[in-house]
Amino acid sequence: MKITVLGSGGWGTALALLLLDNGNDVTLWSYAEAQAALLEERRENPRLAGVPLPPELKLTASMDCLAESALVVMAVPSFAVRETARRAAPLLRPGTILVSVAKGIERDTALRMTEIIEQETGGNFPVAALSGPSHAEEVGRRTPTGCVAASRDLETARRVQNVFMAPMFRVYTNEDVVGVELGGALKNVLALCCGACDGMGLGDNAKALLMTRGMTEMARLGVALGGRKETFAGLSGMGDLIVTCTSMHSRNRRCGILVGQGKSAQEAMKEVGAVVEGYFAAFSAHQLAEKTGVEMPVCRCAYDVLYGGQTVRSVLERLMRRDKRHEADESWI
Ligand SMILES: NC(=O)c1ccc[n+]([C@@H]2O[C@H](COP(=O)([O-])OP(=O)(O)OC[C@H]3O[C@@H](n4cnc5c(N)ncnc54)[C@H](O)[C@@H]3O)[C@@H](O)[C@H]2O)c1
């Protein structure tokens, strides 16, 4: 199958290699000409150091290849999905499957990535989201990984499952696109919070508390927006939360560590040197919580620190002093 991967960051490159291993004819598109040229010259992506790009992997900065592609992977950062989908739309051939792998929620519209893609392509193409605990660095080394292919249309999800499934890459299907995409976006906010915990040296108990209660509020928002609670207990929810909150591969967690050590969000993101999706997702989570009336105390704290200039210590105290409640009380949804 002819496949184009739009976005040659760490994740786009790792997925392009996986799809190539699976016997596909793959083109990896870079946003910048200079990036495509550098990849061509080195045949290695610095984001996946030590993983060679085989000669069969085609590299380009032109979208011409889209006209021939039966499947297109959207692997640009979430802030660039709308612009990229808009550019790609007129070049796509009918029936092409569009797979979003970006994890985020659009600022101001609070739309999920597949919603943006559907808007920009006129709702004329089968669309799926692929999400789960999947560090590019590990997928690039072909270590065991599991993800979820989600589409409202189960047949589309199955087709994506068939294309991505590999000896070291398991893919499950799910029709709950809302739950799968929200899990992938919101866990980045919680990873920032867990990083801040680590940066302050607060220990494992604090992190487990944040992850567990954070998961509860993620699921609450997801259900309010039409997702299924069970999805949040799966790979794209709990699975991704665990991997992002505990690993040094996670730039969201690394950014949080720096914030916990007293750096501003801007200083921390500059030091991390890559897109920190959780910073943007914290804004969107706040917007969505306000819109739906769902209580999201942990995400609110992240928002207050990242956008409101409050200190991590002050919001932590506020969290710990919240009213007593039953663990399973969900009456405020
Ligand atoms: N890295 C991972 O392990 C991983 C895993 C799963 C999902 N994701 C998601 O995949 C998406 C991409 O992440 P990544 O880690 O590959 O990013 P990255 O930081 O490695 O690379 C970002 C890429 O986006 C390009 N870019 C910058 N501005 C752009 C624009 N305006 N339009 C198009 N492209 C632009 C850059 O040139 C760069 O190649 C994110 O949404 C991320 O959450 C990443």
Region 220-234: mean pLDDT is 97
Q: Which residues line ligand 1 (CB under 6 A)?
A: 7-12, 31-32, 35, 47, 75-78, 80, 83-84, 101-104, 134-136, 274-275, 277
pLDDT score recorded for residue 222 = 97
Per-residue tokens: 228: 């299924």
Pocket perturbation via mutation, ligand 1, pick of 101, 275, 276 by most ligand atoms within 8 A of CB: 275
Region 75-87: mean pLDDT is 98
- Homologous superfamily of 2-175 in CATH? NAD(P)-binding Rossmann-like Domain (3.40.50.720)
109-112 long-range contacts, Cβ below 8 Å, gap at least 24? 110/284, 110/287, 110/288, 110/291, 112/177, 112/178, 112/181, 112/182, 112/185
- How remote is the CA of residue 287 from the centroid of ligand 1, in Å? 23
Fold agreement between 2-175 and 178-320: no
- How remote is the CA of residue 275 from the centroid of ligand 1, in Å? 7
- For ligand 1, atom 44, which residue shows the shortest CA distance? 11
- For ligand 1, atom 17, which residue shows the shortest CA distance? 9
pLDDT score recorded for residue 275 = 87
Region 39-58: mean pLDDT is 97
Pocket perturbation via mutation, ligand 1, pick of 6, 11, 253 by most ligand atoms within 8 A of CB: 11
> What are the pLDDT digits (tens) for 172-197?
999 999 999 999 999 999 999 999 99
Provide the residue ranges of all domains of the chain, joining segments of one domain with +. Answer: 2-175, 178-320
- How remote is the CA of residue 165 from the centroid of ligand 1, in Å? 22
Look at residue 228 and tell me whether its pLDDT is greater than 80.
yes
CATH of domain 178-320: 1.10.1040.10
pLDDT score recorded for residue 331 = 52
As a whole number of Å, the end-to-end CA separation of the chain is 45
Cβ contacts of 44 within 8 Å, gap of 6 or more: 50, 51, 52, 53
- For ligand 1, atom 39, which residue shows the shortest CA distance? 9
Q: Do residues 303 and 286 lie in contact, with contact meaning Cβ atoms separated by under 8 Å?
A: yes
What is the model's pTM?
0.96
Look at residue 143 and tell me whether its pLDDT is greater than 90.
yes
Mean residue pLDDT across the chain: 96
> What is the position in ligand 1's atom list of the atom closest to the CA of 136?
3
CB-neighbour burial class of residue 21 (10 A; exposed 0-12, middle 13-18, buried 19+): middle
For 142, phi then psi, to 5°, come to 60, 45
> What is the position in ligand 1's atom list of the atom closest to the CA of 83?
32
- For ligand 1, atom 35, which residue shows the shortest CA distance? 31
263 catalytic, yes or no?
no
> What is the position in ligand 1's atom list of the atom closest to the CA of 104?
41
- For ligand 1, atom 41, which residue shows the shortest CA distance? 102
User: Of 2, 58, 103, 187, which residue is the catalytic one?
Assistant: 187
- For ligand 1, atom 20, which residue shows the shortest CA distance? 9
> What is the position in ligand 1's atom list of the atom closest to the CA of 251?
1
- How remote is the CA of residue 318 from the centroid of ligand 1, in Å? 34
- Could you tell me the pLDDT band of residue 204, with boundaries at 50, 70 and 90? very high
- How remote is the CA of residue 261 from the centroid of ligand 1, in Å? 26
- How remote is the CA of residue 75 from the centroid of ligand 1, in Å? 6
Region 122-145: mean pLDDT is 96
Look at residue 333 and tell me whether its pLDDT is greater than 70.
no
Q: What is the DSSP string of 287-318?
A: HHHHHHT---HHHHHHHHHHTT---HHHHHHH
